[in-house]
Amino acid sequence: MVRRPTEAGYEAAPNIALVKYWGVRDEDLGLPYNSSLSVTLNHLRSRTWVQFDPTLTEDRFLLGRDEQTDGPLRSVVEFLDEVRALGRFETHAFVRSENNFQTASGLASSASGFAALAGAASLAAGLKLSPPALSRLARLGSGSACRSLFGGFVEWRAGTRADGRDCFARPLFPARHWPGLVDLVALVKDAPTKPIRSAVAMQRTVATSPLYAQRLREVPRRIRAMKRAIAVRDAPALFDRTMEECDSFRSVCESTEPTLDYLVPASRRVLAEVRAANEENGTSVAGYTHDAGAHIHVFTTTTHSARLRRRLGAVPGVEKVLVLSPGPGGRPLRRWGR
Ligand code: DP6
């Protein structure tokens, strides 16, 4: 039982997967079929404050200025239930969260949001969790959130245990490992909001895509190749593997019944523009990827980023191009509400 109000804040950034998490082997525990690899981004962030308060009769969740009900509130309550179970208390909480970017815009707000909630709620509950334990907790909110706790290049190992104890993310290289790496995010106009949660969509792929088994066989090799490319900062190798992986992800989505098509025509024009730039340069100067959304992340290096940014910005249907880089991991916020 928490007797006095106890509170804490935490911030975390979205991450973009270079090797995608897609398919769950245990839905209750959120255990994936395959390991995944991501880059945590700078500039974008979610900040969350949690106050456990014995005078509350139910949990409350404020996102920006809006009191949340239904689905968003339910997922926060379910997550708080996990925290209360870990801490063996029942006190309700007031949760306040804000993103410095549009929520559900296809920029992984669930990853940064649940990473920030895991950090804030576990601190407010007085749980002293190790980084793997905090990552396992965040995973219960949203799979990709377990990677957003760490900065730079991050690997989420699928693990093999039935109880999920070996299923958590860990940092591979810090953001400063590769100072010249840039992520140009081409934000497309009229990007549709996600019709269903990725955790649900991916299970349809597992059940129906004829290409899924082959994808699972390829992923470990791709992760090894990607880790080698990152270790020696081999940009063309990283870009080639990133596009190959994104194409594999898109094929399993498109061959799902009913099909999963996350892109809009402008997204496909961005993919074509990146292929054309690589062709013209005779080597890969950039590599595209996308998640379950229409915006396209284009990795490149500082040598090519200004020119490529102009080029992507001129693609019909592209509204804006963000210039991001690998960024820091999650961190506690000192003062309530700051
Ligand atoms: C395509 O972890 O965001 O972005 O559990 O529904 O929140 P939910 O799913 P989530 O799925 C991520 C899917 C992906 C690939 C990835 O980030 O690895």
Summarize pLDDT for 41-58 with one digit per residue, the tens.
999 999 999 999 999 999
The 3-state DSSP class for residue 181 equals: strand
Which residue among 155, 174, 193 closes a domain?
Answer: 174
Asked if 68 and 191 sit in the same domain, the reply is no
Helical (H) or strand (E) element with 6: strand 6-12
pLDDT tier at 246, thresholds 50, 70, 90: very high
Task: Domain count for the chain, please give it.
Answer: 2
Last residue of a domain, one of 125, 158, 174: 174
Question: Residue 2: pLDDT above 90?
Answer: no
Mean per-residue pLDDT for 262-285?
98
Do 108 and 256 have their domain in common? no
Q: Which two tokens stand for residue 289?
A: 């990827």
Provide the token pair at 222. Answer: 């791709």
pLDDT at 338 over 60: no
146 lines ligand 1 (CB under 6 A): no
Shared domain for 285 and 309, answered yes or no, is yes
Which residue's alpha carbon is at the smallest distance from atom 7 of ligand 1? 142
> What is the DSSP code string of 229-245?
HHHTT-HHHHHHHHHHH
Q: What pLDDT, on the 0 to 100 scale, is given for residue 298? A: 98
Give yes or no for residue 5 having a pLDDT over 90: no
In this model, does residue 337 exceed pLDDT 60?
no
Asked whether 142 lines ligand 1 (CB < 6 A), one says yes
Q: Are 32 and 25 in contact (CB under 8 A)?
A: yes
Token duo for residue 291: 């998640």
pLDDT at 231 over 50: yes
Domain hosting 91: range is 7-174
**Domain assignment of residue 330, yes or no:** no
- 2 CB within 6 A, ligand 1: no
Q: 205 in ligand 1 pocket by Cβ < 6 Å? A: no
201 domain-assigned? yes
- On whether residue 127 sits in a domain, the answer given is yes
For residue 338, tell me if it sits in a domain.
Answer: no
Q: What percent of the chain shows pLDDT beyond 70? A: 96
Whether residue 212 is predicted with pLDDT greater than 90 in this model: the reply is yes
Q: Whose CA is nearest to atom 3 of ligand 1?
A: 144
Q: Are residues 195 and 107 in the same domain?
A: no
Backbone angles phi, psi at 199, to 5 degrees: -60, -30
- What pLDDT does residue 334 have? 82
Say which CATH number the domain at 134 has. 3.30.230.10
pLDDT number for residue 336: 62
Residue 162 and residue 73 share a domain: yes
Give the H or E element holding residue 109.
helix 109-124
> What number of other Cβ atoms are within 10 A of residue 303's Cβ?
12
Q: φ, ψ for residue 332 (rounded to 5)?
A: -70, 150
List pLDDT tens digits, range 85-101.
999 999 999 999 999 98
| Co-location of 62 and 78 in the same domain | yes
Q: Is 112 in the pocket of ligand 1 (CB under 6 A)?
A: no
Beta strands in 124-282 (DSSP E): 153-156, 169-173, 181-188
Look up the CATH number of the domain holding residue 230: 3.30.70.890
Are 13 and 159 members of one domain? yes
Name which of 67, 131, 64, 134 is nearest 100 in CA terms: 64
Helix axes 70-87, 131-141, angle to 10 degrees: 150
Q: Is the CB of 197 under 6 A from ligand 1?
A: yes
Query: Does residue 195 have a pLDDT over 90?
Result: no
Q: Does residue 190 share a domain with residue 160?
A: no
Same-domain pairing of 152 and 215? no
| Domain membership flag for residue 91 | yes
- Closest C-alpha to ligand 1, atom 12: 144
For residue 48, which phi and psi values (nearest 5 degrees)? -135, 140
Residues 6+ apart with CB under 8 A from 306: none
Query: Looking at the structure, do residues 162 and 208 belong to the same domain, yes or no?
Result: no
In this structure, the answer to whether residues 169 and 218 fall within a common structural domain is: no
Tell me, what's the pLDDT at 102? 74
**Would 234 be classed as within a structural domain?**
yes
Alpha-carbon span 205 to 174, nearest angstrom? 33
Q: How far is the CA of 75 from the centre of ligand 1 (A)?
A: 15
pLDDT in the model for residue 109: 75
Q: Confidence band (pLDDT; 50, 70, 90) for 104?
A: low
pLDDT at 314: 98
Taking the CA of residue 200 as reference, the ligand 1 atom at the shortest distance is 6
CB atoms near residue 10 (< 10 Å): 25
Read off the DSSP letter of residue 41. Answer: B
Is residue 333 in a domain?
no
Q: Is the pLDDT of residue 194 over 90?
A: no
DSSP state of 326: B
**pLDDT at site 46:** 96
Model pLDDT, residue 193: 81
Same domain (yes/no): 15, 150: yes
- 36 within ligand 1 shell (Cβ under 6 A): yes
Residue finishing a domain among 174, 204, 224? 174
Q: How confident is the model at residue 199 (pLDDT cuts 50, 70, 90)?
A: very high
Residue 331 within any structural domain of the chain: no
Give which of 171, 186, 155 is closest to 300, Cα–Cα: 186
Edge-first strand order for the sheet with 93-99 is: 66-67, 60-63, 93-99, 46-52, 6-12, 331-333
Looking at every residue in the chain, the average pLDDT score rounds to 95
